[in-house]
Protein backbone atom coordinates (compact mmCIF):
# COMPACT_ATOMS: atom_id res chain seq x y z
CA UNK A 1 0.00 0.00 0.00
CA UNK A 2 1.40 3.38 -0.95
CA UNK A 3 1.76 6.19 1.61
CA UNK A 4 3.62 6.33 4.93
CA UNK A 5 3.52 8.76 7.89
CA UNK A 6 7.21 8.10 8.63
CA UNK A 7 10.28 9.06 6.62
CA UNK A 8 12.99 6.71 7.92
CA UNK A 9 16.51 7.76 6.99
CA UNK A 10 17.24 4.21 5.72
CA UNK A 11 13.91 3.66 3.91
CA UNK A 12 14.35 0.86 1.36
CA UNK A 13 11.03 1.62 -0.34
CA UNK A 14 11.05 5.41 -0.84
CA UNK A 15 8.62 4.95 -3.73
CA UNK A 16 6.04 3.93 -1.09
CA UNK A 17 6.32 7.08 1.03
CA UNK A 18 3.90 9.29 -0.90
CA UNK A 19 0.28 8.23 -1.28
CA UNK A 20 -0.04 9.40 -4.87
CA UNK A 21 1.44 7.70 -7.96
CA UNK A 22 4.99 8.76 -8.86
CA UNK A 23 7.45 8.48 -11.72
CA UNK A 24 10.84 6.79 -11.26
CA UNK A 25 13.38 7.98 -13.85
CA UNK A 26 16.26 5.84 -15.20
CA UNK A 27 18.83 8.36 -16.47
CA UNK A 28 21.00 5.65 -18.08
CA UNK A 29 18.14 4.54 -20.35
CA UNK A 30 16.89 7.96 -21.45
CA UNK A 31 17.45 8.81 -25.14
CA UNK A 32 16.47 12.48 -24.74
CA UNK A 33 13.91 11.93 -27.50
CA UNK A 34 11.31 14.26 -25.95
CA UNK A 35 8.36 11.90 -26.53
CA UNK A 36 7.37 12.17 -22.87
CA UNK A 37 7.14 15.96 -23.16
CA UNK A 38 4.81 15.70 -26.14
CA UNK A 39 2.52 13.30 -24.29
CA UNK A 40 2.29 15.13 -20.97
CA UNK A 41 -0.82 17.25 -20.25
CA UNK A 42 1.55 19.52 -18.26
CA UNK A 43 4.05 19.71 -21.08
CA UNK A 44 5.55 23.11 -20.17
CA UNK A 45 5.95 22.17 -16.51
CA UNK A 46 7.57 18.83 -17.36
CA UNK A 47 9.91 20.52 -19.83
CA UNK A 48 10.95 23.09 -17.22
CA UNK A 49 11.51 20.44 -14.54
CA UNK A 50 12.97 17.66 -16.74
CA UNK A 51 14.27 15.10 -15.92
CA UNK A 52 12.45 15.70 -12.64
CA UNK A 53 8.68 15.33 -12.60
CA UNK A 54 6.72 18.51 -11.86
CA UNK A 55 4.65 18.81 -8.67
CA UNK A 56 1.52 19.07 -10.82
CA UNK A 57 2.00 15.49 -12.06
CA UNK A 58 -1.05 13.42 -11.16
CA UNK A 59 0.48 10.16 -12.38
CA UNK A 60 -1.60 9.73 -15.54
CA UNK A 61 1.18 7.57 -17.00
CA UNK A 62 0.98 8.93 -20.57
CA UNK A 63 4.70 9.72 -20.58
CA UNK A 64 5.44 6.14 -19.51
CA UNK A 65 3.34 4.69 -22.33
CA UNK A 66 5.29 6.61 -25.01
CA UNK A 67 8.76 6.05 -23.53
CA UNK A 68 10.04 3.12 -25.58
CA UNK A 69 13.40 3.29 -23.83
CA UNK A 70 11.59 2.39 -20.57
CA UNK A 71 13.33 5.26 -18.80
CA UNK A 72 10.14 6.25 -16.98
CA UNK A 73 8.28 3.90 -14.65
CA UNK A 74 4.95 4.64 -13.00
CA UNK A 75 4.84 3.57 -9.35
CA UNK A 76 1.40 3.19 -7.84
CA UNK A 77 -2.13 2.99 -9.21
CA UNK A 78 -5.65 2.89 -7.83
CA UNK A 79 -7.34 -0.50 -7.63
CA UNK A 80 -10.59 -1.76 -6.13
CA UNK A 81 -10.69 -4.48 -3.48
CA UNK A 82 -12.25 -6.82 -6.05
CA UNK A 83 -9.47 -6.22 -8.59
CA UNK A 84 -6.75 -6.83 -6.03
CA UNK A 85 -8.48 -9.92 -4.68
CA UNK A 86 -8.65 -11.36 -8.20
CA UNK A 87 -4.87 -10.92 -8.55
CA UNK A 88 -4.30 -12.57 -5.16
CA UNK A 89 -6.59 -15.51 -5.94
CA UNK A 90 -4.84 -16.13 -9.25
CA UNK A 91 -1.92 -17.38 -7.11
CA UNK A 92 -4.07 -19.61 -4.92
CA UNK A 93 -2.27 -22.79 -6.01
CA UNK A 94 1.04 -21.27 -4.93
CA UNK A 95 -0.35 -20.41 -1.45
CA UNK A 96 -1.75 -23.90 -1.05
CA UNK A 97 1.52 -25.58 -2.02
CA UNK A 98 3.79 -23.30 0.04
CA UNK A 99 1.51 -22.99 3.07
CA UNK A 100 1.84 -19.21 2.74
CA UNK A 101 -0.76 -16.49 2.62
CA UNK A 102 -1.31 -12.80 2.01
CA UNK A 103 0.86 -10.13 3.65
CA UNK A 104 -0.15 -6.49 3.27
CA UNK A 105 2.76 -4.06 3.62
CA UNK A 106 3.73 -0.63 2.43
CA UNK A 107 4.20 2.21 3.02
CA UNK A 108 1.79 2.00 5.92
CA UNK A 109 -1.36 -0.05 5.23
CA UNK A 110 -3.41 1.46 8.08
CA UNK A 111 -3.49 4.79 6.19
CA UNK A 112 -6.04 2.97 4.00
CA UNK A 113 -7.62 1.01 6.85
CA UNK A 114 -11.11 0.46 5.42
CA UNK A 115 -9.70 -0.88 2.14
CA UNK A 116 -7.18 -3.17 3.84
CA UNK A 117 -9.70 -4.44 6.38
CA UNK A 118 -12.15 -5.40 3.64
CA UNK A 119 -9.41 -6.98 1.51
CA UNK A 120 -8.16 -9.12 4.41
CA UNK A 121 -11.70 -10.11 5.42
CA UNK A 122 -12.35 -11.34 1.89
CA UNK A 123 -9.01 -13.19 1.82
CA UNK A 124 -10.00 -14.95 5.03
CA UNK A 125 -13.36 -15.91 3.59
CA UNK A 126 -11.36 -17.53 0.77
CA UNK A 127 -9.45 -19.53 3.36
CA UNK A 128 -6.17 -17.60 3.06
CA UNK A 129 -3.86 -16.82 5.99
CA UNK A 130 -3.52 -13.03 6.48
CA UNK A 131 -0.62 -10.93 7.76
CA UNK A 132 -0.09 -7.20 8.24
CA UNK A 133 3.19 -5.26 8.29
CA UNK A 134 2.85 -1.98 10.17
CA UNK A 135 5.10 0.81 11.44
CA UNK A 136 2.55 1.22 14.25
CA UNK A 137 2.09 4.97 13.72
CA UNK A 138 -1.68 4.92 13.27
CA UNK A 139 -4.82 5.92 15.11
CA UNK A 140 -5.89 3.01 17.31
CA UNK A 141 -9.26 3.06 15.53
CA UNK A 142 -7.63 2.35 12.15
CA UNK A 143 -5.25 -0.26 13.51
CA UNK A 144 -8.00 -2.07 15.42
CA UNK A 145 -10.21 -2.09 12.31
CA UNK A 146 -7.52 -3.88 10.31
CA UNK A 147 -6.48 -6.22 13.15
CA UNK A 148 -9.94 -7.81 13.16
CA UNK A 149 -8.95 -9.62 9.99
CA UNK A 150 -5.27 -10.35 10.69
CA UNK A 151 -3.79 -13.73 11.66
CA UNK A 152 -0.19 -12.54 12.02
CA UNK A 153 0.95 -9.02 12.92
CA UNK A 154 4.46 -7.91 11.96
CA UNK A 155 5.02 -4.81 14.10
CA UNK A 156 8.07 -2.63 13.36
CA UNK A 157 9.99 -0.80 16.07
CA UNK A 158 12.91 1.45 15.12
CA UNK A 159 14.31 3.11 18.24
CA UNK A 160 13.26 3.17 21.89
CA UNK A 161 14.28 6.78 22.63
CA UNK A 162 11.57 9.27 21.58
CA UNK A 163 13.92 12.07 20.51
CA UNK A 164 16.26 9.81 18.57
CA UNK A 165 13.20 8.18 17.00
CA UNK A 166 12.03 11.58 15.82
CA UNK A 167 15.45 12.41 14.36
CA UNK A 168 15.58 9.13 12.42
CA UNK A 169 11.97 8.79 11.26
CA UNK A 170 10.35 12.22 11.57
CA UNK A 171 7.95 11.22 14.37
CA UNK A 172 8.13 10.45 18.09
CA UNK A 173 7.57 6.83 19.17
CA UNK A 174 4.93 7.31 21.93
CA UNK A 175 1.95 6.37 19.77
CA UNK A 176 3.83 3.43 18.25
CA UNK A 177 4.74 1.94 21.63
CA UNK A 178 1.22 2.45 22.93
CA UNK A 179 -0.24 0.72 19.86
CA UNK A 180 2.20 -2.18 20.27
CA UNK A 181 1.00 -2.64 23.89
CA UNK A 182 -2.64 -2.54 22.81
CA UNK A 183 -2.14 -4.88 19.84
CA UNK A 184 -0.30 -7.58 21.82
CA UNK A 185 -2.67 -10.46 22.52
CA UNK A 186 -5.29 -9.28 20.01
CA UNK A 187 -4.03 -11.32 17.04
CA UNK A 188 -3.11 -14.99 16.65
CA UNK A 189 0.59 -14.13 16.44
CA UNK A 190 2.55 -10.90 16.82
CA UNK A 191 6.18 -10.55 15.77
CA UNK A 192 8.35 -7.49 16.45
CA UNK A 193 10.63 -6.49 13.59
CA UNK A 194 13.63 -4.26 14.18
CA UNK A 195 15.91 -2.91 11.42
CA UNK A 196 19.56 -2.85 12.48
CA UNK A 197 20.99 0.36 11.06
CA UNK A 198 24.68 1.01 11.82
CA UNK A 199 25.22 4.38 13.46
CA UNK A 200 21.49 4.82 14.06
CA UNK A 201 19.99 2.25 16.42
CA UNK A 202 22.43 -0.59 17.10
CA UNK A 203 23.82 0.78 20.38
CA UNK A 204 23.65 -1.74 23.26
CA UNK A 205 21.56 0.58 25.47
CA UNK A 206 18.88 0.77 22.79
CA UNK A 207 18.84 -2.99 22.30
CA UNK A 208 18.50 -3.53 26.07
CA UNK A 209 15.55 -1.10 26.09
CA UNK A 210 14.00 -3.03 23.22
CA UNK A 211 14.48 -6.34 25.04
CA UNK A 212 12.92 -4.96 28.24
CA UNK A 213 9.97 -3.51 26.32
CA UNK A 214 9.13 -6.64 24.30
CA UNK A 215 9.63 -9.12 27.15
CA UNK A 216 7.98 -6.94 29.81
CA UNK A 217 5.22 -5.02 28.06
CA UNK A 218 4.04 -7.12 25.11
CA UNK A 219 2.31 -10.16 26.57
CA UNK A 220 2.43 -13.20 24.30
CA UNK A 221 5.16 -11.75 22.04
CA UNK A 222 8.29 -13.88 22.04
CA UNK A 223 9.75 -13.42 18.57
CA UNK A 224 11.90 -10.56 17.28
CA UNK A 225 13.11 -10.48 13.66
CA UNK A 226 16.25 -8.38 13.15
CA UNK A 227 16.58 -6.87 9.69
CA UNK A 228 20.20 -5.90 8.90
CA UNK A 229 20.72 -2.69 6.92
CA UNK A 230 21.04 -2.78 3.15
CA UNK A 231 21.28 0.20 0.86
CA UNK A 232 18.56 -0.60 -1.72
CA UNK A 233 16.87 2.68 -0.88
CA UNK A 234 19.85 4.70 -2.10
CA UNK A 235 19.53 3.96 -5.83
CA UNK A 236 15.74 4.21 -5.66
CA UNK A 237 16.02 7.63 -4.00
CA UNK A 238 18.23 8.82 -6.88
CA UNK A 239 15.53 7.75 -9.36
CA UNK A 240 12.95 9.74 -7.39
CA UNK A 241 15.25 12.79 -7.01
CA UNK A 242 15.10 12.46 -3.22
CA UNK A 243 17.87 12.88 -0.67
CA UNK A 244 19.16 9.68 0.95
CA UNK A 245 20.57 10.65 4.36
CA UNK A 246 22.65 7.45 4.74
CA UNK A 247 24.37 7.70 1.33
CA UNK A 248 27.57 5.64 1.24
CA UNK A 249 26.93 3.87 4.53
CA UNK A 250 28.40 0.33 4.48
CA UNK A 251 26.22 -2.70 5.26
CA UNK A 252 26.00 -4.05 8.80
CA UNK A 253 28.77 -6.45 9.89
CA UNK A 254 27.51 -9.96 10.69
CA UNK A 255 29.22 -9.66 14.08
CA UNK A 256 27.13 -6.60 15.00
CA UNK A 257 23.93 -8.43 14.12
CA UNK A 258 24.97 -11.37 16.29
CA UNK A 259 25.78 -9.07 19.22
CA UNK A 260 22.33 -7.52 18.90
CA UNK A 261 20.76 -10.97 18.80
CA UNK A 262 22.63 -12.06 21.93
CA UNK A 263 21.37 -9.03 23.87
CA UNK A 264 17.75 -9.77 22.95
CA UNK A 265 18.12 -13.50 23.64
CA UNK A 266 19.21 -12.57 27.19
CA UNK A 267 15.63 -11.28 27.69
CA UNK A 268 14.21 -14.70 26.85
CA UNK A 269 13.25 -13.77 23.28
CA UNK A 270 13.46 -15.91 20.17
CA UNK A 271 15.52 -13.88 17.69
CA UNK A 272 15.94 -14.34 13.94
CA UNK A 273 18.40 -12.42 11.80
CA UNK A 274 16.82 -11.75 8.40
S1 LIG B 1 10.37 9.55 -23.58
FE2 LIG B 1 11.76 8.37 -22.28
S3 LIG B 1 13.66 8.30 -23.47
FE4 LIG B 1 12.42 9.94 -24.36
S5 LIG B 1 13.12 11.82 -23.27
FE6 LIG B 1 11.34 11.00 -22.18
S7 LIG B 1 12.26 9.74 -20.56
FE8 LIG B 1 13.86 10.04 -22.09
S1 LIG C 1 2.60 10.88 -15.40
FE2 LIG C 1 1.28 12.19 -16.70
S3 LIG C 1 1.33 14.21 -15.68
FE4 LIG C 1 3.01 13.00 -14.81
S5 LIG C 1 4.82 13.60 -16.04
FE6 LIG C 1 3.92 11.74 -16.98
S7 LIG C 1 2.51 12.48 -18.56
FE8 LIG C 1 2.99 14.21 -17.20
Residue 94 — very low, low, confident or very high, per pLDDT cuts 50/70/90? confident
Domains in the chain, number: 2
Query: CA–CA separation, 18 vs 223, rounded Å?
Result: 30
Bridge partners of 131?
A: 103, 152
Please tell me whether residues 61 and 145 are part of one structural domain: no
* Residue 260 is assigned to a structural domain of this protein: yes
Give residue 100's pLDDT. 84
* Residue 102 is assigned to a structural domain of this protein: yes
Residue 39 C-beta-side C-alpha neighbours within 13 Å: 15
* Residue 4 is assigned to a structural domain of this protein: no
Please tell me whether residues 120 and 69 are part of one structural domain: no
Query: CA–CA separation, 44 vs 165, rounded Å?
Result: 41
Give residue 201's pLDDT. 97
Please tell me whether residues 156 and 68 are part of one structural domain: no
CATH number at residue 43: 3.30.70
Of the chain, the percentage scoring pLDDT greater than 90 comes to: 92
Bridge partners of 55?
A: none
CA distances from 101 to 94, 130, 132, 168, 171 (A): 9, 6, 11, 32, 31
Distance 196 CA to ligand 2 centre (A): 37
> Looking at the predicted structure, is the pLDDT value of residue 129 above 90?
yes
Give residue 43's pLDDT. 96
3-state secondary structure of 97: helix
Mean of pLDDT values over 219-223: 96
C-alpha of 151 from chain center: 19
Give the position, in ligand 2's atom list, of the atom nearest the Cα of 60: 2
Lowest average pLDDT, out of 39-48, 91-100, 164-173, 221-230, goes to 91-100
Average pLDDT, the chain: 96
Give residue 104's pLDDT. 97
Which residue ranges have their beta carbon within 6 Å of ligand 2?
23, 39-42, 46, 53, 57-63
Domain boundary among 32, 52, 75: 75
Question: Pick from 90, 79, 43: which is nearest to 62 by CA?
Answer: 43
pLDDT in tens, 171-209: 999 999 999 999 998 999 999 999 999 999 999 999 999
Task: State yes or no: cis peptide before 51, omega within 30 of 0.
Answer: yes
Residue owning the nearest CA to atom 4 of ligand 1 = 33
Query: CA–CA separation, 168 vs 142, rounded Å?
Result: 24
Residue owning the nearest CA to atom 3 of ligand 2 = 57
What is the extent of the structural domain holding 39? Answer: 22-75
Residue 217 — very low, low, confident or very high, per pLDDT cuts 50/70/90? very high
Residue 224 C-beta-side C-alpha neighbours within 13 Å: 27
* Residue 8 is assigned to a structural domain of this protein: no
> Looking at the predicted structure, is the pLDDT value of residue 97 above 90?
no
Give the position, in ligand 2's atom list, of the atom nearest the Cα of 21: 1
Distance 14 CA to ligand 2 centre (A): 19
Instruction: Indicate the pTM of the whole model.
Output: 0.93
Give the containing element (helix H, strand E) for 227: strand 223-228
Most ligand 2 atoms within 8 A of CB, residue of 18, 41, 45, 70 to mutate: 41
Domain boundary among 38, 57, 75: 75
Across the beta sheet with 270-273, what order do the strands follow? Answer: 101-104, 129-134, 152-156, 189-196, 223-228, 270-273
Please tell me whether residues 221 and 90 are part of one structural domain: yes
Please tell me whether residues 37 and 155 are part of one structural domain: no
Mean of pLDDT values over 105-123: 97
Give residue 99's pLDDT. 82
Cβ-contact 103, 131 below 8 angstroms: yes
Domain boundary among 10, 44, 75: 75
Cβ-contact 14, 236 below 8 angstroms: yes
pLDDT in tens, 140-165: 999 999 999 999 999 999 999 999 99
* Residue 10 is assigned to a structural domain of this protein: no
Please tell me whether residues 166 and 199 are part of one structural domain: yes
Please tell me whether residues 171 and 45 are part of one structural domain: no
Amino acid sequence: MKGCPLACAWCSNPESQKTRPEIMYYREKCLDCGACLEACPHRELLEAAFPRTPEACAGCGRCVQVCYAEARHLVGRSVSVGELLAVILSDRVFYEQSGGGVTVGGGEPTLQAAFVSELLARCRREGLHTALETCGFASWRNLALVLKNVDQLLFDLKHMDPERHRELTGVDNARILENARRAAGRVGEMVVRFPLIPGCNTEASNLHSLGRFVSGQLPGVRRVDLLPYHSTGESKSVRLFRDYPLAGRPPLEREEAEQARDILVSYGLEVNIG
